[in-house]
């Protein structure tokens, strides 16, 4: 497998927060480097159920994860298993639910906190955290720059074809402070500033990059049900493919087949939603993507 893609999931960011507060991502939309669409989550719009749907391409009613209290090893094929089937190398830097869903359950704090398993049928290189003890006043989240650095470390050391990063910082902030406040403005601003240099680096390393969230949050920091604020988030795409019209809304179940299509991996029979990206007829120029001569010779790092 020659193609490379990173999926960055910022937990619990409603559409309006992405579009209002993420100045670097929005600047790249203005410059033509990125494209952005609205994405609607599955129901229930709760974290674990959405993680499972993002990676299997099926709704919670089908994969069976009904919420954060019902996490188990899923039986459906997912993005990790399909990339492995095509000979690609996978990595994840994420909450431990991701390891439980797609590799092993229950989560063992020693065995599963960090693993490198080159022959594994799903996740080859995993770096996980559990947020054990999480509550209203104690977020128990790692610094996001540490997570971005860890993913980059895995990309450079192991040549990941597919890497997935998930961070709960903004979801926890939203539950604690809600959304119309200085704390939330600042938290989104900091996330955008921490993320931006890594996006540049990942593009220079040859990765397509998708930045999105699992679900939104409403004015009281709630999600789980059906409303635009709870279900709708943004999806930013950095890469050469063509996407739908700017006003189209992406269904969360389209993510898995889209990622696999971009990587050249087989789409599982259970993933029936249509990919939202397709190969471009002409390649768009990019300021972040290395020029052909740089790719062959003195690549910037």
Question: At closest approach, how far in Å is the CB of 12 from Zn ion?
Answer: 5
Q: What size, in residues, is the chain?
A: 301
The residues, any chain, with a CB within 8 Å of residue 214's CB and separated by 6 or more, are: 9, 11, 12, 41, 47, 50, 51, 54, 166, 233
Question: At closest approach, how far in Å is the CB of 54 from Zn ion?
Answer: 11
Considering the complex, state which of residue 46 and residue 267 has its C-beta at the smaller distance from Zn ion: 46
Considering the complex, state which of residue 60 and residue 290 has its C-beta at the smaller distance from Zn ion: 60
Question: At closest approach, how far in Å is the CB of 252 from Zn ion?
Answer: 12
Residues lying near Zn ion in the complex (CB under 5 A) are found at 11-12, 47, 171, 214
Judging by DSSP bridges, how do beta strands 5-10 and 208-212 pair with one another?
Answer: parallel
Query: Can you tell me the distance from the alpha carbon of 44 to that of 160, in angstroms, rounded to the nearest whole number?
Result: 31
Extract the tokens encoding 258: 């889209």
Query: Can you tell me the distance from the alpha carbon of 80 to that of 100, in angstroms, rounded to the nearest whole number?
Result: 13
Question: At closest approach, how far in Å is the CB of 11 from Zn ion?
Answer: 4
Considering the complex, state which of residue 35 and residue 63 has its C-beta at the smaller distance from Zn ion: 63
Question: At closest approach, how far in Å is the CB of 95 from Zn ion?
Answer: 9
Judging by DSSP bridges, how do beta strands 35-40 and 232-238 pair with one another?
Answer: antiparallel
Considering the complex, state which of residue 39 and residue 265 has its C-beta at the smaller distance from Zn ion: 39
Query: Can you tell me the distance from the alpha carbon of 301 to that of 291, in angstroms, rounded to the nearest whole number?
Result: 13
Query: Can you tell me the distance from the alpha carbon of 265 to that of 260, in angstroms, rounded to the nearest whole number?
Result: 5
Question: At closest approach, how far in Å is the CB of 172 from Zn ion?
Answer: 9
Question: At closest approach, how far in Å is the CB of 214 from Zn ion?
Answer: 4
Query: Can you tell me the distance from the alpha carbon of 266 to that of 11, in angstroms, rounded to the nearest whole number?
Result: 27
User: HSE-up of 106 (CA within 13 Å, CB side)?
Assistant: 6
Question: At closest approach, how far in Å is the CB of 47 from Zn ion?
Answer: 3
Query: Can you tell me the distance from the alpha carbon of 263 to that of 164, in angstroms, rounded to the nearest whole number?
Result: 13
Extract the tokens encoding 217: 């949050």
- Matching residue, tokens 């490198």: 116
The residues, any chain, with a CB within 8 Å of residue 241's CB and separated by 6 or more, are: 208, 262, 277, 278, 279, 280
Considering the complex, state which of residue 67 and residue 87 has its C-beta at the smaller distance from Zn ion: 67
Q: Give CA angle at 198 (193, 204), nearest 5°.
A: 135
Residue number of the CB closest to Zn ion reads 47
Considering the complex, state which of residue 89 and residue 230 has its C-beta at the smaller distance from Zn ion: 230
Considering the complex, state which of residue 10 and residue 123 has its C-beta at the smaller distance from Zn ion: 10
Considering the complex, state which of residue 82 and residue 167 has its C-beta at the smaller distance from Zn ion: 167
């Amino acid at each position: 497998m020659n193609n490379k893609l990173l999926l960055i999931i910022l937990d619990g960011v409603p559409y309006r927060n992405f579009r209002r507060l993420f100045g670097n991502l929005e600047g790249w939309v203005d410059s033509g480097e990125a494209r952005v669409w609205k994405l609607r989550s599955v129901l229930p719009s709760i974290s674990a159920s959405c993680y499972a749907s993002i990676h299997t391409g099926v709704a919670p009613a089908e994969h069976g994860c009904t919420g954060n209290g019902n996490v188990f090893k899923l039986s459906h094929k997912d993005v990790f298993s399909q990339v492995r089937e095509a000979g690609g190398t996978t990595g994840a830097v994420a909450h431990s639910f991701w390891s439980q869903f797609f590799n092993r359950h229950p989560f063992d704090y020693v065995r599963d906190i960090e693993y490198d398993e080159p022959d594994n049928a799903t996740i080859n290189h995993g770096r996980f955290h559990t947020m054990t003890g999480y509550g209203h006043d104690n977020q128990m989240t790692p610094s996001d720059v540490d997570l971005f650095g860890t993913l980059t470390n895995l990309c450079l050391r192991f040549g990941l074809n597919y890497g997935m990063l998930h961070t709960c910082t903004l979801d926890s902030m939203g539950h604690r402070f809600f959304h119309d406040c200085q704390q939330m403005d600042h938290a989104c601003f900091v996330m955008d500033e921490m993320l931006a240099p890594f996006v540049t680096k990942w593009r220079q390393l040859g990765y397509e990059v998708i930045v999105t969230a699992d679900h939104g949050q409403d004015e009281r920091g709630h999600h789980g049900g059906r409303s635009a604020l709870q279900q709708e988030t943004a999806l930013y795409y950095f890469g050469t493919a063509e996407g739908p019209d700017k006003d189209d809304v992406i269904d969360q179940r389209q993510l898995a087949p889209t990622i696999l299509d971009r990587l050249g991996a087989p789409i599982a029979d259970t993933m029936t939603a249509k990919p939202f990206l397709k190969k471009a007829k002409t390649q768009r120029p990019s300021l972040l993507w290395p020029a052909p001569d740089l790719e062959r010779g003195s690549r910037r790092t």
